[in-house]
Amino acid sequence: MRMHRMTSTTARHLRRVVLQAAVDAGAACTGMSLDVFFRGDETDIEWRPRRTTALRICAGCPVRAACEELALRDGEGDPEADEIVRGGLTGPELAAARDAHAVRLAVAVDADRDTEGSRLDALMAERYVLATTSTERVRDGKRVPPTVVQLEHNERIRTLNLEIARTRTARRAQAGWAVAA
């Protein structure tokens, strides 16, 4: 069986999906009230013990790192407002972490938003796999007429070629290359 090598661009596009899947599967806060992690109309004295409880839950959470990265990608946290806990950090701590990783996060957020690019990667990966999986048969040195499966295989590659061309054109138009495209 041939292995498809994932490009770093594809991996970047898929990272958010992978992080979210990890959090969905392993979050220690699953089923808990959101009130544990978000401050309501409370005084500091009322909020602090709940914040400590939330931080303790996060500290024991198996997907804390993934949750923190998603929170940073989502732009969570306000330097002036101590009103949430996510990924084991308070709002001001999340804001400070965002500043500390600003360049890396900007690239990550671009990849999250670039859905056309993500779709293009998926289409190209499927075409690569199909194109490297030959269904042609040869008997006694002669090509055997194509079967229905082979015809469907070829038709799918043709459809992928069209979709890839359409998606590329759309991306170029978004980038202002509509005339050249």
- When asked if residue 61 is in the footprint of ligand SF4 (CB under 6 A), the reply is yes
CA-closest candidate to residue 71, choices 50, 111, 98:
98
- When asked if residue 94 is in the footprint of ligand SF4 (CB under 6 A), the reply is no
- When asked if residue 97 is in the footprint of ligand SF4 (CB under 6 A), the reply is no
Least Å distance, CB 98 to ligand SF4, is 16
Q: Which long-range contacts (CB under 8 A, 24 or more apart) does 59-65 make?
A: 59/88, 60/28, 61/26, 61/27, 61/28, 61/29, 61/88, 62/26, 62/28, 63/22, 63/23, 63/25, 63/26, 63/27, 63/28, 64/88
Q: Taking CA 142 as the corner, what is the angle to CA 137 and CA 147, rounded to the nearest 5 degrees?
A: 35
Here's the x/- map for ligand SF4, 29-48, by CB under 6 A: it reads as: x-------x-----------
Size of site (CB under 6 A) for ligand SF4: 14
Q: Per CB under 6 A, which region of 8-16, 83-91, 96-104, 129-137 contacts ligand SF4?
A: 83-91
SS3 state at 170: helix
Instruction: Between 71 and 123, name the residue whose CB sits nearer to ligand SF4.
Output: 71
Instruction: Between 40 and 176, name the residue whose CB sits nearer to ligand SF4.
Output: 40
- When asked if residue 64 is in the footprint of ligand SF4 (CB under 6 A), the reply is yes
Residue 156: C-alpha distances to residues 3, 121, 127 (Å) = 20, 16, 8
Least Å distance, CB 94 to ligand SF4, is 11
- CB-CB contact of 71 with 77 (8 Å): yes
- State the residues that interact with ligand SF4 by CB under 6 A: 23, 27-29, 37, 57-58, 61, 63-64, 67, 86-88
